[in-house]
Amino acid sequence: MDSLPPFPAGKPFAARPHPGTGFDDTAIVNTFFATAPQGLEELLAAELKSLALDGVRVRRGGVEFCGELVAAYRVCLWSRLANRVLLPLEQFTAGDEQALYDGVKRVDWSLHLGPENTLAVGFTGIRAALGHSRFAEQRVKDAVVDQIRERMGSRPSVDTEQPDLRINVHMVDDGVTVAVDLAGGSLHRRGYRREGRTAPLKENLAAAMLFRADWPELASEGGAFVDPMCGSGTLLIEAAWMAGDCAPGLLRRHYGFLNWRGHDDAAWESLLDEALERREQGIGHLPPILGFDEDPDALETTHDHLTRAGLSGRVQAERREIGQARPPGGAVRGLVATNPPYGERLGEAHELLPLYLRLGETLKRHFPGWRAIVLNGSGCQVGLKPERSWQLYNGPIECRLERFEIGARNPAETTGAAPDLVNRIAKNRRQLSRWLRREQVQCFRVYDADIPEYALAVDVYDTSDGRWLHVQEYAPPPSIDPGRAQARLRAALSVLPEALDADPGKLVFKVRQRQRGDSQYQRRSERGQFLEVREGRCRLLVNLTDYLDTGLFLDHRPVRTWIGENTGNQRFLNLFCYTGAASVHAAVGGARSTTSVDLSATYLDWTRRNLFLNQMNSPDHQLVRADCRQWLKDCRDSYDLIFLDPPSFSNSRRMEGAFDIQRDHTELIRDSMRLLAPGGTLIFSTNLRRFRLDPSLVGTFEIEDRTAWSIPKDFQRNQRIHQCWFLRPRA
């Protein structure tokens, strides 16, 4: 619970009596406390003043205000920013649990609940003398129920989900404040979400964004509203309710005061009638409000929420990628407000940079004269200079709320960006063009850190969904200033789509870091978007977004092609098969059988899908989930062609002991060679740059270094991309 202020001198608590108690029912002025999310106290104070409340004062964790009970009801119904509204009952000091029990018991609880009611207790503290919150809650509950049982012969029960009375106890050092939670639960829950559905942006934080952007004033002047990444529709609904004078608490079915003995039902019903009338008058005069999102599931949730919020047909939401967001027809001024994704794991936030740059480019290109406000939790820049910014917290995530005034587009801002990079890519494309046409290559590397200042690897994937760009950032050289490196990265990402004839929305950016264990194979995202590409006669599935690698190692293309051309009627073994691209080439090339071995169920399923895509789903093509090292020792079959392309290192929990290719390759190769049929071939490859082949193998097997042959034309700028050998038994 948020910190509570001390009581004003000479103004003790007094509650409206429960009907039938015989007390005088005159108007009573109390001091209340509205809690607020961190950083929004001043904004909440301004909102409470706009509700014509008295005694508004900012305190730590919220805002104090004074008035009759109807003032607290008004805040519960109308505040878009508050979390809770508390009615302090008592303050005292307590150095131990008995003092806490005695202090709580001094409150006359018969004014608040009876044996027929339910209650719940919440305890929080700052340097609290009683550090065990659960025990403190228990003692507070004991004091309340003991008093009521002593007076009335029976006691209320506990309901932690939706009690009739929720009691808040807050302790700072040994100072205790006991309060009734009139809201009964956080006011950010407006009542339109279905059970179990949460949002990445709480409603009161969305409202704070709109207040900081002066949306009420813009709306009153006829300005339109757009959220280009609307998610579940939180900002759309808050914007519509603000513009339509709709009380945010109208849909809530439960308040903490409804079953409280001090409740004034007549005052509450009067407020509801007023709110309904204001909503009826305001909802018909909404300005254009429009949301976009590329996720169909998010849009389904948005439409559901709009219907439950009474806004169906009044607020529009369409499926569009962020670069396709546009103002409503005829709207020349308005507000763009959005809460872009942040990235949950280290490095992911940086990888969102293209999204933020695309947002900035969309704003500059299509929303001149508009205002924009962005809750930025990633640290990425949108390519615009904020006019103002504030620090906020979205849950535990520290964010910057950035407000922009979008001026007329200046063509000079992007013209000439990263000209040396653009020129180099154009040169590389010219050099590769004839080879790409002749070999019918659809997925290729077009740039690989050719210029030290642009430490990127850029791959082109011509897929069933059009051209995609897969861009990976290497660590820049130490000689490059980090600030300049970031500026060059932003410039590069902004020009790459145009330089390579790609939709900006189809650029995927990743940070290439040294991977340990099986982290390179772990899921990084949850989009599950598989795209079909062609490689020779084979059709293969790639996933550009969810993993560090895409499912297709482009530098192994010549090896896969050779396998497809040389496995006719042969038995093929693919060890550490990854997504099975080599197995597909072998199967399509006429292999008698293929066996694909890997420890990952995810990648074996990917292999299965690749085989099915090529109609190679017969029992002749087996998938084996196993640790390749142990499987090789147990296997008694023989194969005509074996492809061995192990990871450089792995300490996967599913393996027995760590695997190191430099240390373990000798045993691995010898075990693999044992399975070769007479006249067979083992293809061994590794991407470990410092790898050295064990000389003892040279005296045992015929070994042919095929590295130069195995590196395709698009990787020949990087001769150390991998090493490759063909091994055969000695005659």
Quote the pLDDT of residue 124.
Answer: 87
Is the predicted pLDDT of residue 410 greater than 80, yes or no? no
d(Cα 668, Cα 680) in Å, to the nearest integer?
Answer: 17
Q: State the burial class of residue 653 (Cβ atoms within 10 Å of its Cβ: 0-12, 13-18, 19+).
A: exposed
Residues 6 or more apart in contact with residue 595 via CB below 8 angstroms: 571, 572, 573, 574, 622, 624, 637, 639
What would the two tokens of residue 9 be?
């001198």
Quote the pLDDT of residue 22.
Answer: 35
What would the two tokens of residue 240 be?
């519509």
- Cβ–Cβ < 8 Å for 640, 682: no
Is the predicted pLDDT of residue 9 greater than 80, yes or no? no
Map tokens 């806004």 to a residue. Answer: 311
Q: Mean pLDDT across the chain, nearest whole number?
A: 90
Around 226, how many Cα atoms within 13 Å sit in the side-chain half-sphere? 25
Q: What is the mean pLDDT of residues 482-506?
A: 90
Quote the pLDDT of residue 445.
Answer: 98
Beta bridge partners of 120: 166
Give the type of residue at 200: P
Question: Count of CB atoms within 10 A of residue 480's CB?
Answer: 15
- What is the pLDDT confidence band of residue 25, given thresholds at 50, 70 and 90? very low
Instruction: State the DSSP string of 442-477.
Output: -EEEEEES-STTS-EEEEEEEETTEEEEEEEEPPPP
> Can you give 197-259 as a three-state secondary structure string?
CCCCCCHHHHHHHHHHCCHHHHHHCCCEEEECCCCCCHHHHHHHHHHCCCCCCCCCCCCCCCC
Residues 6 or more apart in contact with residue 489 via CB below 8 angstroms: 353, 454, 456, 473
Asked: is 203-243+285-413 a CATH 3.30.390.50 domain? The reply is no
Across 610-639, b (16+ Cβ under 10 Å) vs e yields: bbebbebeeeebebbeebbbebbeebeeeb
The pLDDT tens digits for 654-663 are: 667 789 999 9
Q: What is the mean pLDDT of residues 30-39?
A: 94
Please give the helix or strand (H or E) that residue 348 lies within, else none.
helix 348-351
Asked: is 416-513 a CATH 3.60.150.10 domain? The reply is no
Closest CA to 685 of 583, 566, 576, 564: 576
The boundaries of every CATH 3.40.50.150 domain in the chain are: 203-243+285-413, 530-731
Q: What is the mean pLDDT of residues 618-634?
A: 96
Is the predicted pLDDT of residue 10 greater than 50, yes or no? no
- What is the pLDDT confidence band of residue 343, given thresholds at 50, 70 and 90? confident
Quote the pLDDT of residue 351.
Answer: 83
The pLDDT tens digits for 662-716 are: 999 999 999 999 999 999 999 999 999 999 999 999 989 999 999 999 999 999 9
CA end-to-end distance (rounded Å), the chain: 81
**pTM, entire model:** 0.84
Map tokens 């900081």 to a residue. Answer: 212
Q: Give the angle 449-357-447 at the CA atoms, nearest 5°.
A: 15
Q: What is the mean pLDDT of residues 88-108?
A: 94
Is the predicted pLDDT of residue 16 greater than 60, yes or no? no
d(Cα 190, Cα 172) in Å, to the nearest integer?
Answer: 31
- Cβ–Cβ < 8 Å for 669, 697: yes
The pLDDT tens digits for 369-378 are: 999 999 999 8
What would the two tokens of residue 168 be?
């808040």
- Cβ–Cβ < 8 Å for 92, 126: no
Quote the pLDDT of residue 527.
Answer: 65
Is the predicted pLDDT of residue 255 greater than 80, yes or no? yes
Closest CA to 291 of 262, 271, 311: 311
Q: State the burial class of residue 566 (Cβ atoms within 10 Å of its Cβ: 0-12, 13-18, 19+).
A: middle
Alpha carbon separation from 533 to 444, 448, 452, 495 (Å, rounded): 11, 21, 31, 24
Asked: is 530-731 a CATH 3.40.50.150 domain? The reply is yes
Quote the pLDDT of residue 651.
Answer: 75
- What is the pLDDT confidence band of residue 379, given thresholds at 50, 70 and 90? confident
Give, as one character, the DSSP assignment of residue 550.
Answer: -
Quote the pLDDT of residue 525.
Answer: 52
Q: What is the mean pLDDT of residues 544-556?
A: 93
Closest CA to 491 of 428, 413, 407: 413
Q: What is the mean pLDDT of residues 301-320?
A: 96
Query: What length does the chain have?
Result: 731
